[in-house]
Amino acid sequence: MIFPDKFLEKIKEAKSIIFFTGAGISAESGISTFRGKDGIWNKLKPEELANFDAFLRNPDMVWEWYQYRRKIVNEALPNAGHIAIKEFEKYFDTKVVTQNVDNLHGRAGSKTIYELHGNIERNYCINCNSFFNLDEIELTGEVPKCDKCGGLIRPDVVWFGEMLPQETFMNAEISAQRCDICFVVGTSAVVYPAAYIPHTAKSAGAYLVEINIEKTDFSSFADLSLTGTAGEILPKVLEEVKKIFI
Ligand code: OAD
Ligand code: ZN
């Protein structure tokens, strides 16, 4: 793969890099994306599964769906894309801003990760806000209840219409303002406010690089749009980085 000189120049000069990632980076780990071919939202309705009213209406069904997704995530492994991102830390101040709840960046070893949409492994009581790890919850077929107050326990993910974790989002915005290069990897970048992150980076002068298997509405906004899978392209970018810094 031949990269444009301008991009290689930017890598040479860069001190700080952020990776803004979405479901596409985990596709090669076997986790479905939401939109596009085989996307989850083609078959299932977000308003029935990823929203608080739906949870109150039918908590067992929503819980069961998250249990199913947890199983897929548990059985998945970080792929070459997640691992390459972790390696960037050796060369740059590197931060990951992810919309994914699958914790695969964490399992790949990335140090600083801002999870804008939460983490499927954590849960909390909707009544008293106590947090529960999965091993602290008794798993039956039904939604678990809080052992302190009897409230329903929900996954710690952001549903449609809910606020993002404010401090996490603020930290992500700050790193977007400070970065020299922002990679936008495997995301349709249409869900706001998360999708403000690359806009913030660009307004603050960062070079924007999209990595996606297809052209998106975002492509023309990026300074460089690389077409291919994250697991294929990120290790190739890393090879270039190594050539520059050896
Ligand atoms: P989407 O499903 O909207 O987009 C996934 C993107 O990844 C698409 O643009 C694909 O073309 C691309 N893609 C697929 N496979 C790829 C691969 N191997 N390598 C690189 N790119 C690939 O996912 P997100 O943008 O993450 O929100 O969706 C944003 C939010 O919408 C999610 O966080 C979730 C969802 O509803 C919540 O749950 C709140
Ligand atoms: Zn409680």
Place of tokens 């793969």: 1
41 pLDDT more than 90: no
**Which residues share a beta bridge with 65?**
none
Domains of the chain: 1-31+77-117+164-246 (3.40.50.1220), 32-75+123-157 (3.30.1600.10)
**Cα–Cα distance, 56 to 151 (Å, whole number):** 11
198 pLDDT more than 90: yes
Provide the pLDDT confidence category of residue 29 given band limits of 50, 70 and 90: very high
1 pLDDT more than 90: no
- Cβ of 198 closer than 6 Å to ligand 1, yes or no, is no
Average pLDDT of the chain, as a whole number: 95
Reading the block at residue 71, the tokens are 């199983």
Provide the pLDDT confidence category of residue 228 given band limits of 50, 70 and 90: very high
Residue type at 219 in one-letter notation: S
What would the pLDDT profile of 46-100 be if each residue is shown by its tens digit? 878 899 999 999 999 999 999 999 999 999 999 999 999 999 999 999 999 999 9
Provide the pLDDT confidence category of residue 246 given band limits of 50, 70 and 90: confident
What would the pLDDT profile of 122-139 be if each residue is shown by its tens digit? 999 999 999 998 888 888
140 pLDDT more than 90: no
Q: Is the overall model pTM greater than 0.95, yes or no?
A: yes
Residue 37: per-residue pLDDT: 78
Q: Which of 82, 105, 117, 199 is catalytic?
A: 117
- If you take atom 19 of ligand 1, which residue's CA is the nearest one? 229
Residue 199 bears catalytic tag: no
**Which ligand approaches the C-alpha of residue 118 most closely?**
1
Mean pLDDT throughout 141-165? 95
Mean pLDDT throughout 13-35? 97
**Which ligand approaches the C-alpha of residue 233 most closely?**
1
Pocket test for ligand 1, best of 20, 116, 188 (most atoms within 8 A of CB): 188
Residue 136: per-residue pLDDT: 86
Pocket test for ligand 1, best of 19, 31, 33, 233 (most atoms within 8 A of CB): 33
- If you take atom 33 of ligand 1, which residue's CA is the nearest one? 99
- Cβ of 97 closer than 6 Å to ligand 1, yes or no, is no
Taking the centre of ligand 1 as the mean of its atom positions, its distance from the CA of residue 16, in whole angstroms, is 24
